[in-house]
A and B are shown apart, each in its own frame.
Chain A
């Protein structure tokens, strides 16, 4: 029951946050601490969920908070790498209608 969050700033205007493991009430604060300060609208934020085995409403709440912070400053916020399970969760909650979701990170990014 672990969470690893890796932040990569490979391009000037783009930051990729790779999340690995389980995001729940125990690990979500870790994700919030790393993700939220990046959402200042200066970069395009891509959250890569390819290696997320489990996420619940606490984790979704962190993503919603980050999305709101980023949008408030007119920044772009993209979710990538969702598996079928996560995709279903986004559909049930309606988040797929709100957030930009792409199957995989495109080469040219934002």
Chain B
């Protein structure tokens, strides 16, 4: 995990609902080029959107601010960081409140929000959240190959499907 990324794509968007779709589209394009499957690309889109949505909703309390989306491209995985420099939060406290909706709860106990973090953790292979100075959500997803090809050479250039 200590190898260096082949490439880095850096995106800075205003922390507004209007731009979350842009981050999603960018990540979708990168993941497509890297050779992720359709389902995995959809997972990545959702995870990035959820992280950006959290930043839009909580980071700047309705004020102006920016979200940084860093896509680190490795031969076998993508590592995405979604960073805001707004309000921090107690990661452990928030993580306690996330999880799937369970049957048998009273109607009022069914949450309308708070599924985002749970979805990110469910869809990505590795997630690390830091909430000390703004919020950094670092998430990794590996490229899954159904069939391992023989004699695969390690490419030092940007991996492609072709």
Measuring CB to CB, which residues of chain A are less than 8 angstroms from any residue of chain B? 1, 22, 24-26, 54, 56-58, 60-62, 64-65, 67-68, 71-72, 85, 89, 92-95, 97-98
Contacts and interface: CB of A to CB of B under 8 A. Distances in A.
Contact of B103 (A25, A89, A98): A98
Given A56-B46, A72-B107, A94-B102, A22 B115 contact: no
Contacts of B113: 57, 61
Interface of B: 17-18, 20-21, 24-25, 39, 42, 45-46, 49-50, 52-53, 56-57, 100-103, 107-108, 110-113, 115-116, 118-119, 122-123
B97 to A, nearest CB: 13
**Interface SS, B side:** helix
**Interface SS, A side:** helix
A65 B122 CA distance: 23
Given A25-B17, A25-B20, A72-B107, A93 B56 contact: no
28 contacts: A1-B21, A24-B21, A25-B20, A25-B52, A25-B53, A25-B57, A26-B18, A26-B20, A26-B21, A56-B46, A56-B53, A56-B119, A57-B50, A57-B113, A57-B116, A57-B119, A58-B53, A61-B112, A61-B115, A64-B101, A68-B112, A92-B119, A92-B122, A92-B123, A93-B101, A93-B118, A94-B102, A97-B102
Given A1-B21, A93-B101, A68 B110 contact: yes
Contacts of B45: 54
A72 B46 CA distance: 30
A62 B25 CA distance: 23
Contacts of A67: 110
A98 B20 contact: no
A97 B111 CA distance: 14
